[in-house]
A and B are shown apart, each in its own frame.
Chain A
């Protein structure tokens, strides 16, 4: 088994499919509900398959922060410009193969959006660095 992070972005990444262009507040309330329900169902499905590890959603606000020397408060930058990549959340899964990770990401990407059409949203799929195997030869 190998762990993969499925990253969902508010913005950034390759140019989105036309279905994913309308901002959520331009959908109908029922379309938003259907979208959320699809995500819950997908998570239930991953749990059912014994593949679910973790899922989190991130609020859109946030800043970059760095150390500015002894006795000085941290330096902050942001909120981020509209063009910057912005992570919306993630699902971590533990699956048999890379193919299965892509399949799960594609399923997530098909979540319904405006007019009930699949979003075709880009998802970033990142493998975890694994542990060295205990059996060496």
Chain B
């Protein structure tokens, strides 16, 4: 039986070893995929004693074979770069090297996510295609275009950790958007964030991001009901939250904050932790959440999304009308603005206006689960205000 997790953990290490020896990224990635396919065929009766060394040897041979058939001249250049495989100390560096490569700013977020899942996450193109709900040839093409974009750029030194954090955040969010088949992406983003934290243990924002993802993922079992419909935070059955995951997230966050360099992911994780800490929605510590939103607004100046979420916190601390004044100053086209305004109007006692805004919000969301949820909010309020049978 092949240990799928072992293969997937080894994928980035083997890829890193090839790149370190001087292979260009696209060719190395193809060679590693070929080697993995050979492992699946050849390890049926047990993995070799040193699976990583086996994979590096086979992948390197595949790479050389491909190059040999392509050009003898390139072959001579490669030989110059040949050097021994990296020891354990090199593994963490290799992971960061690959992550920062796959999350290169030249790539669109969707391409970066796909390439990261394949090259570092070790997912197959078919699996990634399913997660994005696109046909496999479409995803194969997206990945190969991303590799072409990166071709020619050598990369011995890790790039910007910030770009990696953003891509992992978006990958997680993609898995959180409500589609059952996309569930794997959230778990995958957490797995990759763990690898990143192991590579850059002194980076508080990497730890902050992992904390943020865990603190949100912990609520996942309560986030949809048995019919697959969205349950808002205030109505979730908090007994379903994963307390172990929350404890891990809080530990990571405290460790990150102790480094004394707060950043946007730590601030977001702090807000998530405060929500997770409340045994019931009514016990939520809104004043402290608002303080963290103030911090987040300072860290991400001009972010309309932060301003919108902060308005909710203001609505809880200073009253719904204070929150509404902030929402009204925001761009009318901002996603979820109408839903937030509806929420605050209901708290202010304006049920009819809240119902109207929930309907407007339902019509402008592109997410089906949100559409149904917002329509139900409008329906609930209409029942309370309208000339219903009761």
Interface string of A12-44 (1 = CB under 8 A from B): 000000000000111111011100110010000
Residues from chain B with Cβ under 8 Å of A33 in the complex: 227, 229, 376
Tell whether A27 pairs with B379 under 8 Å between CB atoms, given A40-B228, A59-B366, A61-B363.
yes
Residues from chain A with Cβ under 8 Å of B364 in the complex: 59, 61
Chain B residue at minimal CB-CB distance from A115:
B389
User: Which size bracket describes the interface of A in this complex?
Assistant: 10 to 19
Question: Does B202 lie at the interface of the complex (its beta carbon under 8 Å from any beta carbon of A)?
Answer: no
A26 touches B227 (CB 8 A): no
For residue B332, give the distance in angstroms from its CB to the closest CB of chain A. Answer: 14
CB interface residues, B 358-381, toward A, < 8 Å: 358-359, 362-366, 368, 371-372, 375-376, 378-380
- Total of A-B residue pairs, C-beta within 8 Å: 45
* Alpha-carbon gap, A40 to B359, bound state (A): 23
* Alpha-carbon gap, A28 to B371, bound state (A): 15
For residue B324, give the distance in angstroms from its CB to the closest CB of chain A. Answer: 21
B227 touches A36 (CB 8 A): yes
* Alpha-carbon gap, A128 to B86, bound state (A): 57
A25 touches B365 (CB 8 A): no
B229 touches A26 (CB 8 A): no
A60 touches B379 (CB 8 A): no
Interface-central residue, B365, B368, B379, B382, by most chain A CB under 10 Å: B379
B363 touches A28 (CB 8 A): no
Question: Does B15 lie at the interface of the complex (its beta carbon under 8 Å from any beta carbon of A)?
Answer: no
For residue B180, give the distance in angstroms from its CB to the closest CB of chain A. Answer: 11
Q: Chain A contact residues: over half helix, strand or loop, or mixed?
A: helix
Chain B residue at minimal CB-CB distance from A57:
B368
Q: Chain B contact residues: over half helix, strand or loop, or mixed?
A: helix
A32 touches B376 (CB 8 A): yes
Chain A residue at minimal CB-CB distance from B133:
A56
B227 touches A25 (CB 8 A): no
Tell whether A26 pairs with B382 under 8 Å between CB atoms, given A36-B229, A40-B228.
yes
Question: Does B98 lie at the interface of the complex (its beta carbon under 8 Å from any beta carbon of A)?
Answer: no
B383 touches A37 (CB 8 A): no
* Alpha-carbon gap, A36 to B376, bound state (A): 11
* Alpha-carbon gap, A37 to B355, bound state (A): 23
B379 touches A37 (CB 8 A): no
Tell whether A29 pairs with B379 under 8 Å between CB atoms, given A36-B227, A36-B229, A59-B371.
yes
B372 touches A32 (CB 8 A): yes
A25 touches B372 (CB 8 A): no
CB interface residues, B 332-390, toward A, < 8 Å: 355, 358-359, 362-366, 368, 371-372, 375-376, 378-380, 382-383, 386
Tell whether A25 pairs with B229 under 8 Å between CB atoms, given A32-B372, A33-B376.
no
A40 touches B363 (CB 8 A): no
CB interface residues, B 178-225, toward A, < 8 Å: none
Chain B residue at minimal CB-CB distance from A24:
B375
Give the top 5 A-B pairs by smallest Cβ distance, nearest first.
Answer: A25-B378, A29-B376, A60-B363, A29-B380, A57-B368
Could you list 8 A-B pairs, sorted by A, with CB under 8 Å?
A: A25-B378, A26-B382, A29-B376, A29-B383, A33-B227, A40-B228, A57-B371, A61-B364
